[in-house]
Amino acid sequence: MGAPLITAYLSRFPRYRTVLSLMFLFTLGNVACMLAPNYPVMLASRIFLAAVSSALISMSMTFAPDVAPRKYTSSVISWIFAGFNIASVFGVPFSMFIVQFASWRVAFAFIVVVSILLLLLMVKFLPTKNLPPTNNIMEQLVLLKDRRIIMAVSAMILSGSSAYCFYTYLSPILLDKMGLSANLLTLAFVIFGVAAMISNLLSPMLNYWGGMRILWMIFAGQAIFSILLTFTMESFILGSVVICCLGVLMYLLNTPTQMYYLQVSKKFYPGTLALAGSLTSSSYNVGIAVGSFAGSLSVDLAGLNSVGITGGIFAILATIISYLLASRIKREYKEVIARAMRMLNK
């Protein structure tokens, strides 16, 4: 949630060194988790990691135009998100698998080793070219006053809230409602992870098919399947189909929204590119927090079956906001075409 402010501040420094420094801090944070002697140290380390990883993802977005041709920029962005999202989804079953055979410290040790290898690859392959001059923090924050940005961020928060209403309680849904054996829980999470991976792979295609103008349809589908979950979670077959569909819908919004943030930033607010790159991950993280809280409140008040309805309400709100934004984008596009035609007629 602090990513926008952190990224806005860090954008003043050389990008290459900043990203490497963040990756080094990320590695140290995981070392601290691995060696944590008690819960307070673990909690502090995890909070530190949350701030560092959010800024790291945001700064990584700014490399997309420099490492790939323009027509592949959206694909590169989708793969950056894929790393974040796949880690979020596959990290649960993979950690469960490791803990079954070894200590939880081994899971963090594995992350440390992978982080060191990744840091070495970043040193070798990332371009050293820096970003154009950026504004100071207060000048960059003007981007967040733009109504289009506010609407897009709001829709993303609501979509993330919808997704994590049910995902937070996926284990009890599978075990208590659908009757899945505990021995198959890890496999079930892997299958859901595959659905989420498909979502990431389809996300750049959605950008080519209409991007923000059709995103409301995705949220409408998310609302329908979230509500259906309430009525199908006690059927193993129907519930499994609905959950997989929700997994495929889960991350389709990533590339279209991130590309839109970057476009608005570049066209109307020069010097805010790094801040624009932070909005998708930070918005979705807010959605995760809101959705997890709303899901727990829903379960306490109305039982496990209610998470689908609660998630559906969030998705309906996301649909309404994104439809209004899509209508505005279409109007702006028509105005640009009309101005171009008038200039040609002159």
Q: Where are the domains of the chain?
A: 3-125+141-345
- Residue 2 has a pLDDT of 63
154-212: per-residue pLDDT in tens?
A: 999 999 999 999 999 999 999 999 999 888 888 898 898 889 888 988 888 887 788 89
Gap between the Cα atoms of 205 and 248, Å rounded: 13
pTM attached to this predicted model: 0.82
- Residue 272 has a pLDDT of 81
Measure CA 63 to chain center. Answer: 18
- Residue 243 has a pLDDT of 96
Angle between helices 73-101 and 273-302 (to 10 degrees): 50
User: What residue spans of the chain are helical by DSSP H?
Assistant: 3-10, 15-35, 39-61, 64-67, 73-101, 104-125, 137-140, 147-167, 170-172, 185-209, 215-232, 236-249, 254-268, 273-302, 307-345
* Dihedral angle over CA of 237, 197, 292, 31, nearest 10: 130
- Among 24, 10, 12, 21, which residue's Cα sits nearest to residue 58? 10
Contact 67, 55 (CB under 8 A): no
Gap between the Cα atoms of 292 and 160, Å rounded: 10
Task: Write down the residue that tokens 């906001």 correspond to.
Answer: 321
Cα–Cα distance list, 6 to 17, 22, 57, 217, 291 (Å): 15, 11, 12, 33, 24
Phi/psi of residue 5, nearest 5 degrees: -70, -45
DSSP code, position 68: S
Sequential pLDDT tens for the chain (346 residues): 566 777 777 777 888 888 899 999 999 999 999 999 999 999 999 889 888 887 887 787 777 767 777 777 777 777 777 776 667 666 767 777 787 777 888 889 999 999 999 999 999 888 887 666 566 777 778 888 999 999 999 999 999 999 999 999 999 999 999 999 888 888 898 898 889 888 988 888 887 788 899 999 999 999 999 999 999 999 999 999 999 999 999 999 988 998 899 889 888 888 787 788 788 888 888 999 999 999 999 999 999 999 999 999 999 999 999 999 999 998 888 877 877 777 777 6
Gap between the Cα atoms of 29 and 36, Å rounded: 10
CATH number of 3-125+141-345: 1.20.1250.20
Contact 3, 284 (CB under 8 A): no
Gap between the Cα atoms of 85 and 15, Å rounded: 23
